[in-house]
Amino acid sequence: MVTATRPSDDDLVGRFIRLSPFDIADIPELYRALCRPEVFAGGYGGGPEGLPADAVAYDAFARSYYSADESAMPWTVRLRGGPDDGRVVGATKLGDFDLPNESTHIGWTAYDPGVWGTAVNPEAKLLLLDLAFRNGFGRVKIQADAINTRSRAAIERLGARLDGVMRRHKRRADGSWRDSAVYSVVIDEWPEVRAGLEARLAAYGDRPVEVRPGA
C-alpha cells in the first residue's frame, strides 16, 4: 500500500527561517544571494563553470533549476525576525518524488555565504525532513559531489548516513564527471535525527540570524 503523498504547497515556518514555494519573482533576490563564485565552487549548479555571467543568465538558470512539477517542490529560503527579516538567503528543493517506493530527495541547495555556519541550513533540513516524513515518505536522500568536503560534513552533521558513492554519476558544467556521495535518512532514524537537529537549533538561542556583512 502506498502511503507517500505529494505535500501541499504551504509555507514552512521555523524559528529562524521561512521556506516559501519558489516564485519567479524571487529570482532577482536569489541572484544577489547566490550568483557568486564561492557558492558555485562547491558543485552548486554544476560547479564553477556553471556560474551565470549576469542577471539575465542567472534568471534562465534559476527558472530551469527550480522548476516545479508533480515530482519536485522548489523553495525559497528567507530569514525570519531581526533586522534582516524577510531577506532571501537561499533556495532548495524537495524532489525526485517516488511515491510507490516512498522516497524523495532534498537537494539543489545553496545559501548566501553570509549565513553559512548559522541556524539556516539545519532548520531548513529539519523543516523539509519533517514535511517528507509527515507525508508518508520513508527515505529522504541528500547527496553532494564526493570532493565537496564542506557540503559532506554539513550533511553528516545532520545525522544522515552514507549509502555509498556513485561513481561517474553526473557531468559537471566543465564537462568532467563527478562522483556523488549519497546519504539518506530513513523513517526509523527520524526521531533521533530530529532530536539532534532540535538540540543544535536550541543552542543558537532565540536571537535571529543576521547576514554577516562583507560575506
User: What are the structural domains, with CATH classification, of the chain?
Assistant: 12-202 (3.40.630.30)
- pTM as predicted: 0.95
What letter represents residue 70's amino acid?
Answer: E
Q: Which one, of 78, 60, 69, lies nearest residue 24 by Cα?
A: 60
Q: What letter does residue 140 receive in the DSSP assignment?
A: E
Partnered with residue 178 across adjacent β-strands are 170
For residue range 6-49, list pLDDT tens digits in order.
999 999 999 999 999 999 999 999 999 999 999 999 889 999 99
Q: What is the largest CA-CA distance in the chain?
A: 52
Mean pLDDT of 48-68: 96
| Cβ partners under 8 Å of residue 210, min gap 6 | 79, 82, 83, 84
Whether residue 119 has pLDDT greater than 90: yes
Grid cell locating 119: 541556524
Alpha-carbon span 86 to 95, nearest angstrom: 24
